[in-house]
Each structure stands twice: as structure tokens, then as C-alpha cells.
Amino acid sequence: MTTMTTRPALAPRLSALTKVVELGPGRLDKKLLNEASGLLLRSGDRLKLSSEHTVVALAGGTGSGKSSLFNSLSGLELSPTGVRRPTTARTHACVWGLEGAGPLLDWLQIQWRHRFSRASALDKGDSQLHGLILLDLPDHDSIRALTDTEADRLIGLADLVVWVLDPQKYADASTHRRYVTELAGHEAVTVFALNQADRLTAEELAELVIDLNDLLRREGVEHPSVVPTSAVTGRGIESLKSVIATAVARRRAAIQKLEADLHRLEQRLSQSMPLGEALSAPSSVDEARRMGLTDALCDAVGVPAVGEAMENVYAERSSRWVGWPYPRWFSKFRSDPLKSLRLEDVGEEIRGITTGSVSAQSAEVANAVQALADGLSMGMHPVWRTAVHQAARSRSGQLPQALTEDLTEVAPQLDRVPGWWRLLKVWQYFLVAAFVAGVAWLAAGLLMPGQLPPALELLGDSATLPWVGLMMASVLGLGALSGIASRNFVELGASRERERLEREMRRRVAAVSATMVVEPVERELGRHHAFYTALRDLSA
């Protein structure tokens, strides 16, 4: 068996159609998708079968003389004919050159008892038909055809179709509506035999041929091939044989039929999913949109508020360690500002991001996701735009909780005390002790002059009191100065802690959004781009 060789353009187009079928479910109309799948299956089967044989089907309605024409072309009485409402019940096949045709006839599902071979000395005059498989199809408009789709099936499988029309029903709606209007682009593999020409005068036949050509052109067959024939007189039989022989000799009818079927399907696909500017749509989520989504989600979960709260807590907590002790002691007589800020535990603040206002925050998250999908799907076909939105929202219900749980893990440890706070506290209490010692010295010198034991006479020496006062003033100044400096360092540290916390929270928000929003969207964008790339290659 010889494998059929395709021209270079057909194989890539079939590959593109395979991709369209792979990516089409849920996007393409099911009927159109099934038609595309059927064409792929049919093409694959036909291309694997004999390229040395051309399948030519005689199709027509009841009484068109199709079987008589079949017998005339074959030169044998192979297909039964009748006088009163003749019909063909089953397909008959006549093969010129049986070798290698078996698998092809099996694929066509021609019964063994209806297969005939022209492989004798009688065929020497028909050598130009070697490789022809001529089929006499069942009548497409018979009562049997209502429940038996054999004619329709074989019309779709045949490499070349000869429509046998009779003078009285050549414009029959059942033929034109069901078949002829679907033949646009199939002119190279379609022939119209205006049969029973013996019933017409020369003038009537010429007028009928002109009328049939006009009718076919109006129905989209730009270059119809019309051959007047008569099985009774033999008129036009040789002309029809010549047309068929040309197709058989070229060994191109099967490829042309597949190309025509592919072209017709491509037009329907393009009408359903116009290419337009589809390939200019993004195929991935760019960095700017990722950052925009992260910003929106950070606002939705209150990252700036948590950062500000942490900064305030850091500053307030530090006052217990690095503030000048005297103002801190006096502050104990006032209410704790932390209680008014309600920031005792930032961890609880983060854990409570979605408690108490779940609906509001869920709405903000949904708005952020919606904005991303709107920006990416702008200009897309409605089906694909809906698909992008569905992909973006596929896990949006879990997104607020996922963000909350992930951000809870980065709650700062508020009981952590930096080492420099401890050192500064030791230094400040040393100054407090020095100030207290100075107060004692002054009190002793002023209240008990000359009354102190000899070992403590220096304390009662009035000459030392100015120096003690100067020391006390210096201690107070140094303590106040260190308190002010420490507050500046605390503010810088609080700012750095806030930046660190917000940076870590933002990183986690970006990671969660990438997993739950960006990745599903990018899969859909990639599918969209691959689909339209395949559609473009199919149209090439």
C-alpha cells in the first residue's frame, strides 16, 4: 500500500487544526468542534490509505438515472435499475485496479458482495481509469435515507463527487439546500452531470445548462463543472469519463478534497472566533499588572495600617527602656496610651484582618481581581473574556483567608528587646544614681555642716557644693540629651521595622496572589494565545 504524499501546506494546517481542537472545548461551539474532530479523523485515515486510488461517488436523488449512469461508466450491469420509482438501497463499487484498494474499501464500509473489479482484457480501453473506485450511492432523498445516513457519510468521504441531476429536478431544494450550498471551495472535486439529456431538445438542453450554471454560481459555486449526459444514448459519457480520468491521473483529488474541507471549516471557525487583533492580547501577566494586583491586595488586607500600628507600638514600647526615667515615672500617673490605641498585640491585629469586616475585605479582594482580569481581557472575544475572568476568580473565595493566614506568620515579636536598649537603660540609671548621689551630697552639705564623721567631712565642705550642683546639672542635661538621642534612634528603628514588616508582608501577598490569581490567569492567556496562533496557522 502506498502512503499518500501531501503538499507541504496541508500537514502544518492539519497540525494547527489539531491544536484548535485541543484548545477549543468550552470555547468553541460543540457542533463546530465535533466537525473539526471528524475532519481530523477523516484526514488521518484517508492519508494513511492508498494514494493510487481515487474515490469518485455518484450522488443524486431518486429517478435521476444515477445507477444507469454508473453502469454506463463501468460498462457492466453492476447496479440494479428500475422503471417504477427506481432506488439504490446499498452502495455499489466498481474498482479499476483492485490491488491495494482493499483497506480503502473497508474504510468506506463497502460490503463485499457489492464490490466489483475491472481487471480483465475488457479494461484495456479504460486504462486511463486505472486507480478509480466508482461508487453508486443510495438515493439521498429516498424514504430509506431518512433513517440511513450512508449516502451522507460517503459524500463526505469521497475524493470527488459527481452530482447526477435530472432535467425535471435539477433545482430540487433537497439537493441544493443540503449539499450544494456547502460546496463553496469544492469546485475542483465536484462535477454536475445533467443526466437524461436525451429527453431534451438541443435548445432546451442549452438553456437548462445555462440556468443550472447560474443557479450554482448564486449558491457559491464560482466555477461549476456541468456535463450533460445520457445513459440511454451514451451522450456525454466519454466527456464525463474524461473529467474523471483527469482527476484519477493527477492523483490529487483526495488532497484537494481535504484542502477544500479544511478551507470551509477554517471559514466557519473564523466566523465563530475572528482572528482580528486577538494575537495582540497579552499572553502573560506583565510585571506592572502584578505589582498593581499586589498593591490592591495589600490595601485590601490593610498592610499599611498594620505597618503603622507596628511602628507606633515599637515607639511606645521603647519608651519603657530608652526614655529618660523621670518623665516615664511621671507618665505612670496617666492612662496607658497603648490602651487607647488598642495595639497591645500586633499579632492579634494581623489575625483579625478579616474578622469583623470579612464582607468588606472580600469585596476589595474581588475588586482587585476583577480589575486585573478586565485589563488583561480587554478586546478579547466574549467567550475568552469570560474564561479569563473565571480563571481569575477560580480561587478568589479562598484568597482572603489565605492572605490572612500567611500574614499571621510574620507578626513581629513585641517582647523582643534590642541589645542597645538594655545598654542605654543601664547608662540612664547610672545617671539617675549619680543625680541621686548629688542630691544626697547637697542635702548633707546644707543640712548637716560640720556634723558629719571625719570620714565624710568632704560632704559637708561648702566649697564642694557648687561643683556638686554643676555635676547634677550636667547629669540632668546628659540624661535629657541621651533621652532625646535615643528617641531619634528609636524612630529610625521603628521606621526600619515597619519597612521590613511591610516588605515581608508585601512579598507574601505577591506570592499568594501569584499562586491563586496570576497562575490561573496566565494559563488561560497562554491557551488563548496558542488557540489564535493555531487559527492563524490554519488560515495560512
User: H/E/C letters for each residue in 261-326?
Assistant: HHHHHHHHHHHHCCCCCHHHCCCCCCHHHHHHHHHHHHHHHCHHHHHHHHHHHHHHHHHHHHCCHH
Q: Mean of the per-residue pLDDT values for the chain?
A: 79
C-alpha 515/C-alpha 504 separation (Å) is 17
> How does residue 222 score in pLDDT terms, banded at 50, 70 and 90?
confident
Tell me how far apart the alpha carbons of residues 391 and 516 are, in angstroms, rounded to a whole number. 9
Residue with cell 504524499: 5
Cell numbers that stand for 314 in this block: 515599637
Instruction: List CB contacts of 365: < 8 A, sequence separation 6 or more.
Output: 297, 300, 301, 396, 399, 400, 403
Q: pTM of the full predicted structure? A: 0.74
Residues of the chain with pLDDT > 70: what percent? 71
Q: Say if CB 2 and CB 50 are below 8 A apart.
A: yes
Per-residue pLDDT band for 451 (boundaries 50, 70, 90) equals low
pLDDT score, position 405: 77
The three cell numbers of residue 424 are 542605654
Beta strand pairing call for 115-117 and 190-194: unpaired
Cα-based angle 225, 186, 41 (whole degrees, multiple of 5): 145
**φ, ψ for residue 161 (rounded to 5)?**
-115, 130
Q: Of 402 and 49, which is predicted with more confidence?
A: 49
CA nearest to 221, candidates 258, 252, 176, 251: 176
pLDDT score recorded for residue 521: 96
